[in-house]
Amino acid sequence: MDERIQRKVEKLEQQCQKEAKEFAKKVQELQKSNQVAFQHFQELDEHISYVATKVCHLGDQLEGVNTPRQRAVEAQKLMKYFNEFLDGELKSDVFTNSEKIKEAADIIQKLHLIAQELPFDRFSEVKSKIASKYHDLECQLIQEFTSAQRRGEISRMREVAAVLLHFKGYSHCVDVYIKQCQEGAFLRNDVFEDAAILCQRVNKQVGEIFSNPETVLAKLIQNIFEVKLQSYVKDQLEEHRKSDAEQYLKNLYDLYTRTTNLSSKLMEFNLGTDKQTFLSKLIKAIFISYLENYIEVEIGYLKSRSAMILQRYYDSKNHQKRSIGTGGIQDLKERLRQRTNLPLGPSIDTHGETFLSQDVVVNLLQETKQAFERCHRLSDPSDLPKNAFRIFSMLVEFLCTEHIDYALETGLAGIPSSDSKNANLYFLDVVHQANTIFHLFDKQFNDHLMPLISSSPKLSECLQKKKDIIEQMEVKLDMGIDRTLNCMIGQMKHILAAEQKKTDFKPEDENNVLIQYTNACVKVCGYVRKQVEKIRNSMDGKNVDTVLMEFGVRFHRLIYEHLQQYSYSCMGGMLAICDVAEYRKCAKDFKIALVLQLFDTLHALCNLLVVAPDNLKQVCSGEQLANLDKNILHSFVQLRVDYRSARLARHFS
């Protein structure tokens, strides 16, 4: 079995080796035939290249022969047409058939170029005829373009425009297109919106007609600006330029804004390379004569308008503005009056009028706000900070100086001297209104002026001007408040002098005292509470505490000095303690720790008026009195009616 399989395997191996040799032989033969075929292909490719070179050479030769031939034929035709002009009779169908206007235009355009090279003396007549035909055809083409535009035939317009492109009258064709585009386009009241719609429509159409659409569209826009818009702007502005500055400025701002908005819309279109500069020049050309002196008109209007607002207010109050004296004798009198409260001349009775008006302030700020907005829009960027500063200076002059400062000066002059009886004190009302107004002024400074000057050297100048104004007003406010507090104390002195009796603290019948505190105390406390409330309503922030502290200290000093004018019996001392307790209760309304502490100490001092002689030393060394000067304690003890009889001086020796 194994031998049989082995023989079979050997037989198959021999057969396989035989077939492999035959296959290898066959592959060698195929490789040889492939090499032969490749050589044939190379030879064929070289032959084809050779033939192609010959064909190209032949083509060049034919073209070299044909091109001059075509030129000669074309020249012959042109000579034929030229002869017709020379003879004075145009017989060719191309000139007589209106449907062949395109071919005629091509021929006449070439003849026109040739005629320009000919000497004038010999060919003047024929040159004139060619020029005349050139002009006629040009007019016919433009007329054809016009008719096609009216019919809305875009393809015909494109065809005619392409022919006219080589004629001198091509620009006239563009002009006709621009003129007809605008027919019926400006029928509404809004010329700017009409212009935007027209340009939008033409932008979609112009590329289908002309080979240079951006130039045509730019020319249309230039025409709209230089003719339609310039005329419209002039009509709107010249009407009010000399007669009504307010309306003139409003119209100028509105027209310039709408023109720049239109320019922004037109920036979307392709108008050539530098469309930003192109549109800016068009706007400048319209408005340059108005913008050159804009700020002078603005300042002039703002000045007259502000003066009118103030004058109208003072007229409504039947008030004639008085000149505020400064320097010299007037200034000396004012300083002396501040320091000594001497009546150097009568004070002015303002009848409770502050001469400050919220309506006036709102009107002035509104006018200035509009001026800032116009300034921002209409000023050249290099002039903007300078112009904004001039407007701010107008606001300072009329709002701060002519209105607020005048009211402060008038208010100061209206404060009566501290020894006046039943004086009406209105200066705190002035303080309250001036404070409110200055907040509005500050808001406008930050909201409308700062953005215009924030990156310029004018910023520091404006801030300094504002600071100076604040400081000047604070000086006058402080002066007025100080004198008002003096008047309040003066009123309280009058109340105490009129209502306090010596018998209040040294009653004739010690056992028959029925009152809890004196009538003078009741009236003073009532007056003080009203003034504290008025101060709170007139001030804000830390100013309230500052003024109340000053008022409280003066109130304490007044009561302290007042109490030292009397002698006190035992029952009178008790009544004095009750009065001071009431004063202390009133002092709590101040909500100032120092003022309450002063009255606490005064209350403790009043205990010295009633304490038993043997306990006097102990009370003097108590917590509230231990730190006081012995002379102060002694001065209070001296007010007792039993000071000599009880030999109380020994306690202070």
383-387 — which CB contacts under 8 Å span 24+ positions? 383/295, 384/452, 384/456, 385/452, 385/453, 385/456, 385/457, 385/458, 385/459, 386/458, 387/295, 387/298
Per-residue pLDDT band at 188 (split at 50, 70, 90)? confident
Question: Residue 539 and residue 268: Cα distance in Å, rounded?
Answer: 56
3-state SS, residue 100: helix
Q: Is the pLDDT of residue 220 over 60?
A: yes
Across the range 572-578, mean pLDDT stands at 91
The pLDDT assigned to 327 comes to 44
Q: Name the residue with higher pLDDT: 57 or 512.
A: 57
SS3 at position 145: helix
Burial class (CB in 10 A: 0-12, 13-18, 19+), 575: buried
496: pLDDT confidence band, cut at 50, 70 and 90? Answer: very high
- In this prediction, residue 406 carries a pLDDT of 93
Higher pLDDT residue, 477 or 614?
A: 477
Higher pLDDT, 487 or 161: 487
Residue 330 has pLDDT above 60, yes or no: no
Interatomic CA distance for residues 305 and 250, integer angstroms: 14
Residue range 263-287, pLDDT digits in tens: 999 988 888 778 889 999 999 999 9
pLDDT of residue 344: 46
Read off the pLDDT of residues 335-350 as tens digits, 9 standing for 90 and up: 555 455 444 444 555 6
**Which range (103-117, 180-194, 220-234, 355-369) has the least confidence?**
103-117
Least confident of 209-218, 356-365, 478-487: 209-218
Model pLDDT, residue 343: 45
pLDDT band at residue 5 using 50, 70 and 90 as cut-offs? confident
Q: What's residue 478's pLDDT? A: 93
Average pLDDT over residues 473-499: 93
Collapse the DSSP code of 568 into the 3-class scheme (helix H, G, I; strand E, B; otherwise coil) and give the result. Answer: strand
The pLDDT of residue 132 is above 60? no
Contact 616, 648 (CB under 8 A): yes
* pLDDT (mean) for 529-533: 95
Q: What is the mean pLDDT of residues 102-108?
A: 57
For the chain, what percent of residues have pLDDT higher than 90? 42
Whether residue 487 contacts residue 547, with contact meaning beta carbons closer than 8 Å, is answered with: no
* Statement: residue 326 has pLDDT above 90: no
Question: What span, in angstroms and rounded, lies between the C-alpha atoms of 448 and 450?
Answer: 6
Q: Are 360 and 383 in contact (CB under 8 A)?
A: no
**Which one is predicted more confidently, 595 or 69?**
595
Three-state SS at 132: helix
Residue 449: pLDDT band (50, 70, 90) is: very high
Mean pLDDT of all residues in the chain?
83
In this structure, are residues 551 and 484 in contact, taking their beta carbons and an 8 Å threshold? Answer: no
- Name the percent of the chain lying above pLDDT 70: 82
Q: pLDDT for 618-634, tens place per residue?
A: 888 888 888 888 888 88
pLDDT in tens, 534-558: 999 998 889 999 999 999 999 999 9
**pTM value?**
0.74
Dihedral, 105, 110, 113, 114 alpha carbons, nearest 10: -130
Indicate whether 261 pLDDT > 50: yes
Q: Which residues contact 625 (CB under 8 A, 6 or more apart)?
A: 601, 604, 605, 608, 619, 633
Task: Tell me how far apart the alpha carbons of residues 449 and 395 are, in angstroms, rounded to a whole number.
Answer: 11
